């Protein structure tokens, strides 16, 4: 009689994908403006000015150009990494009673992210190309109608190998981001709840995801610097290792160039993703009555 029924909610395997899509819809205009800012010939406009310029010239919807590629990437990359991480975590959590040790979360996050990064490579590539298209003069543009059209055209025109070019970079980055986001989110939340000062509420979710976004940014930045240098190189690097060596010569801080702008992008995306995920879980999750 003294036993009270507590109801817990568990995530469904595709919630991570949905939450990431929700976050992408919120952060997409920022990404788009960033591409516009990077590509202006002479620096005339700042962030707000550029946003106003885009809306004036092409309307509000122009802020969402290329959204299909972004969502396509979330539905392949994020859906996979969340599905692997959460499914395995919840399976193991129910067998060995109590939360997984942190190192296991890290390993699982790395595995999930690596797999997600690989699966998401084609969508990522089309995403990059579609964002890059804006920079090109009209006669050189690829003009993919949308992400799916882009995927088919790369497949038809350049073959399946080309769709997976850059897979090793994407997978490594996926592993880093996922360790930063998912493993650190879980751990931060566990620690915050453990203090007994905060309950399992939106403030806790906000704080934990903010910490996780910071960790992910820090872990990823060296890889992103390498990726950018390799992508922009005119053949001065023989490969990843060579690029790593040359960058290291500039000192350790060279790997953290652009850390603040990277954080400004990744942290809100992480926070929104987890806030959406926790709400999905709360209202539509699998009910577990214990």
The ranges assigned to domains in the chain are 7-219+266-289
pLDDT at position 131: 79
Q: What CATH number has the domain spanning 7-219+266-289?
A: 1.50.40.10
DSSP 101: P
3-state secondary structure of 7: strand
Q: Going from the first residue of the chain to its last (290 residues), give the mean pLDDT of each consecutive group of 10, the final group possibly shorter.
A: 73 96 93 76 78 88 87 96 95 81 96 97 88 80 90 92 86 96 97 94 97 96 84 77 91 88 91 98 89
Alpha-carbon distances, residue 21 vs 67, 79, 136, 216, 246 (angstroms): 10, 9, 27, 18, 37
Contact 180, 224 (CB under 8 A): no
Structure tokens of 3?
A: 């036993």
Rounded to whole angstroms, the Cα distance separating 67 from 150 reads 13
pLDDT at position 257: 86
pLDDT at position 148: 93
Q: What are the pLDDT digits (tens) for 230-275?
A: 767 777 888 888 989 998 999 888 889 889 888 988 999 999 999 9
Rounded to whole angstroms, the Cα distance separating 30 from 37 reads 10
How many other CB atoms sit within 10 Å of the CB of residue 140? 9
Q: What are the pLDDT digits (tens) for 62-94?
A: 888 889 999 999 999 999 999 999 999 988 887
pTM reported for the whole predicted model: 0.90
């Amino acid at each position: 009689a003294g036993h009270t029924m507590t109801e817990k909610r568990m995530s469904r395997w595709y919630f991570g994908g949905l939450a990431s899509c929700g976050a992408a819809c919120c952060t997409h205009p920022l990404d788009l403006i960033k591409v516009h800012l990077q590509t202006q010939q002479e620096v005339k406009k700042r962030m707000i000015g550029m946003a106003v310029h885009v809306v004036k010239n092409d309307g509000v919807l122009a802020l969402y150009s290329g959204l299909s590629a972004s969502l396509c990437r979330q539905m392949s990359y994020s859906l996979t990494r969340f599905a692997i991480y959460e499914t395995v975590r919840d399976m193991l959590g129910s067998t060995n009673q109590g939360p997984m040790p942190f190192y296991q979360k890290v390993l699982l996050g790395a595995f999930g992210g690596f797999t997600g990064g690989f699966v998401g490579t084609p969508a990522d590539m089309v995403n990059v190309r579609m964002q890059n298209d804006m920079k090109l003069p009209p006669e050189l543009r690829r003009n993919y109608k949308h992400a799916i059209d882009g995927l088919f055209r790369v497949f038809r025109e350049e073959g399946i190998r080309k769709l997976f070019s850059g897979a090793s970079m994407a997978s490594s980055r996926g592993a880093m981001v996922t360790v930063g986001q998912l493993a650190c989110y879980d751990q931060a939340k566990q620690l915050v709840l453990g203090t007994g000062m905060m309950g399992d509420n939106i403030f806790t979710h906000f704080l934990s995801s903010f910490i996780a976004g910071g960790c992910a940014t820090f872990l990823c930045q060296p890889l992103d610097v390498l990726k950018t240098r390799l992508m922009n190189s005119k053949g001065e690097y023989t490969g990843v290792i060579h690029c790593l060596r040359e960058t290291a010569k500039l000192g350790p801080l060279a790997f953290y160039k652009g850390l603040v702008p990277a954080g400004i992008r990744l942290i809100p995306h992480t926070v929104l993703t987890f806030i959406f995920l926790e709400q999905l879980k709360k209202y539509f999750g699998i009910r577990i009555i214990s």
